[in-house]
Structure 1
């Protein structure tokens, strides 16, 4: 048996397709049960957040595992399989483990270093534990949570981007005055743009407009910021 990751996220898919998958999968316990009913998958954990859906599986074969996970995600989400496959990413064995550790550390998040992902991983494992997580994934997720916790507590990764944004906003206030209630433009929808937008929302800014080279990522960030506002 080997560890496989099949996923879709804000990095790989347009907003509407990603939303269709996240809504379809959600906390649906049928995903784990359905995977275990397939021949290739012995264990499974499903991580589902607003920005990603990832299936971690202990499977007897690469191609059989990818097909089993892809087919089930397409069936549950209602996205045609051919359309879904264009936006899925796959990691196998060592790369699958490395990817999980990067996710736990917040390195793959829209806002790099955010620590909310640790709680999401913990809940994903707890949800899947009774139905689809056996000894292989138990050990892997326990190690990932320890790695993530250590990275957040010892490296200051949570503060790295936040410090740059804070300095930038302080200079903006010095130049134009208080930002509360003002409309602002965020250029770029990457991790720094996302962190800037979230910080501006907390500061009480009015409309936050996102400009980005690709429309889909700009829409995704704008919708995330609007959700934070609500």
Structure 2
């Protein structure tokens, strides 16, 4: 048996390709079942974020396993394997473990140290559990990765040093607009990223309006941040009133066209609009960026800045401590907890590793 981590990420692939590879929850569930239906793949977990789409799999052999995983990813992206292969990263065995731990710790993110990826990994693991595609190998490994991510955040200081992708994007806005305090800001999307965006904007003093396809979700989020909810039908008027527009929906294609923004700008030719598109696939029509007085910050721009070393920096000591912890955890035998994580039996909660983990293989399967 072998362990593989295969996928595309902001480190290797342009945003245009990441968009094609992007998966929502339904896509991930379908991919999980395609993966474990292959003869060479026994268990699978898929982590799909705005920075990456990666598969962690237990396979019979690395060559056949990589071929199967590549086929599933290429099929979803609508490309042939040969088109996708140059952008794939592949980690095997202990290197796959080290990569997973680094991802959980935020060390492989576009914004190093960002905390959101740990929750995304937790959600990916829960989905794989629900679909029955993790078993004796990936159950304990995913749980170890979650523990490592938590330890890195609690013991190294990287959690205090590492900003979120939203915070970095809003820094770019303030470079252009100055402080956001008192400025009208429109958030389109009320999911986890929308909630983070609305919260961060509110903390910076912006007057937050939330628009979502689900009005009830918009109202809940707006209430939490002291903002107001907008009717989706009023989007053109809300765009016209905003100084900052941040989009982060899970839509399969653009939700904001150049026509809507162009009409909104006619009544405010001297007042610029900064658009932050943090969705994958992108929410904003690329033509919006060509409109007068409109500046677009999207994942492609943040990716270029990260590759050029222009992103937010994490303190060197926190980064070194985080990397050392990941290295030590990778080298530690499975099943043995570090001293700092051991508790007396009387104080321990429920066991993290199920006594009878789900095995995705059918009864009698000799694999």
TM-score, with length taken from structure 1: 0.73
Closer/same/farther in 2, CA of residues 117 and 18 from structure 1, 3 Å limit: same
Partner of 1:152: 153
Aligned-partner Cα distance in 1 for 2:36–2:179: 55
- Structure 1 residue 178, shift from structure 2 partner: 4.2
- Structure 1 residue 98, shift from structure 2 partner: 0.1
What stretches of structure 1 of length at least 5 have no aligned partner? 182-198, 223-230
- Structure 1 residue 27, shift from structure 2 partner: 4.1
Aligned-partner Cα distance in 1 for 2:23–2:161: 32
Aligned-partner Cα distance in 2 for 1:99–1:158: 19
Is the CA contact 1:152–1:158 (under 8 Å) kept in the aligned structure 2? yes
Bigger RCO (CA 8 Å, 6+ sep)? 1
What stretches of structure 2 of length at least 5 have no aligned partner? 184-199, 207-242, 245-273, 276-294, 306-367
Q: Secondary structure at the match of 1:110?
A: coil
Closer/same/farther in 2, CA of residues 113 and 2 from structure 1, 3 Å limit: same
Is the CA contact 1:25–1:31 (under 8 Å) kept in the aligned structure 2? no
Select the structure of larger CA radius of gyration: 2
How large is the RMSD of aligned CA atoms in angstroms? 3.3
Partner of 1:131: 132
Closer/same/farther in 2, CA of residues 210 and 125 from structure 1, 3 Å limit: same
Aligned-partner Cα distance in 1 for 2:120–2:178: 38
Closer/same/farther in 2, CA of residues 94 and 200 from structure 1, 3 Å limit: same
Query: Could you list the per-position Cα deviations for residues 22-42 of structure 1 after superposition, in whole angstroms to 9, with x for gaps in the alignment?
Result: 147864312111111111111
Is the CA contact 2:45–2:55 (under 8 Å) kept in the aligned structure 1? yes
Is the CA contact 1:42–1:59 (under 8 Å) kept in the aligned structure 2? yes
TM-score, with length taken from structure 2: 0.47
Q: Please identify, of 90-99 and 24-33, the stretch whose mean Cα deviation from structure 2 is larger.
A: 24-33
Is the CA contact 2:110–2:303 (under 8 Å) kept in the aligned structure 1? no
Paired residues in the alignment total: 196
Is the CA contact 2:46–2:55 (under 8 Å) kept in the aligned structure 1? yes
- Structure 1 residue 11, shift from structure 2 partner: 1.1
More helix by share: 1
Is the CA contact 1:21–1:79 (under 8 Å) kept in the aligned structure 2? no
Aligned-partner Cα distance in 1 for 2:126–2:9: 21
